[in-house]
Amino acid sequence: MELKDKVVVVVGATGGMGVEVCRALHKGGVKLILVARTEEKLKTLSAELGNCSFFVCDLGKPDTIAPVCTQIMANYPIVDVLLNVAGIGVYKPIEEVTETDWMDSFNTNVTASFLFTKYLLPALKQSPKAYVINWGSGMGVIPSAGRSVYCMTKFALRGVSLALAREFERTNISIVHLTLGSVLTEFGPMALKEKETENLEGKAYLTPQYVAEKVVEIISSDQADSEVPIYPTGYEEEMKRLS
């Protein structure tokens, strides 16, 4: 796919990976539609990039998603790419997990991706070649103790993605599950500084810029696999030790 002038919706645009993906795609000349919860962050990113629209949406509240999709399609009847980047991480033993933790995790990590795909389908179907890329995790493949809720959501998102990939395999829409290892962002129980220190001491991490480059490669290709694992060195071995 030629990137120039393609319409790309980025859900979770203001997070650590979302920002870098937006920057990488902006260099390719796409028309960006930014979606996130915080208006001020959206305004800042939009001002940096230019040539993009933004919509405020609280992904923890599923009933806010359909109206946002309606607004997007009113302005952009064709959507070429949907990137479901947003996610939250609840890392607690099950005894400490609250009902709010559970609902927020599934609403943000699973339901939002499903609903944005469902409600933007009319616009995605108008594209000659459309991509929906869902941000998964290695924890949706290898479970980890003490992170059960996060693992459950990522297993669920992986199931949604692979099932929809099969459902749309003979259409113009490719559904891709991006299975990521540890990334150098603020996401998760460790601060970015702690991760950077571990990285200097030898633990491998992906950088958000590297992930963004891989996403651009997927979108630019003529055909993508339904699941694309991107792990830093030693990630699978570490996850098996934690499981």
Q: What is the pLDDT of residue 147?
A: 87
Give strand ranges (E) for 148-197. 173-180
Task: Please give the DSSP secondary-structure letter assigned to residue 46.
Answer: H
Look at residue 15 in the predicted model and tell me its pLDDT: 92
pLDDT at 186: 60
The residues of the chain scoring below 70 in pLDDT are 184-203, 233-243
Q: What is the pLDDT of residue 193?
A: 54
Between CA 67 and CA 72 the distance in angstroms is 9
CA angle 162–106–15, rounded 5-degree value: 90
Which residue ranges form the domains of the chain, and what is each CATH number?
7-242 (3.40.50.720)
Token digits of residue 185: 């962002």
Tokens of 217: 């490669």
What's the pLDDT at 24? 96
Quote the pLDDT of residue 143. Answer: 86
pLDDT at 132: 98
Contact criterion met (CB below 8 Å) for 118 and 112: no
Under 8 Å between Cβ of 122 and 70: no
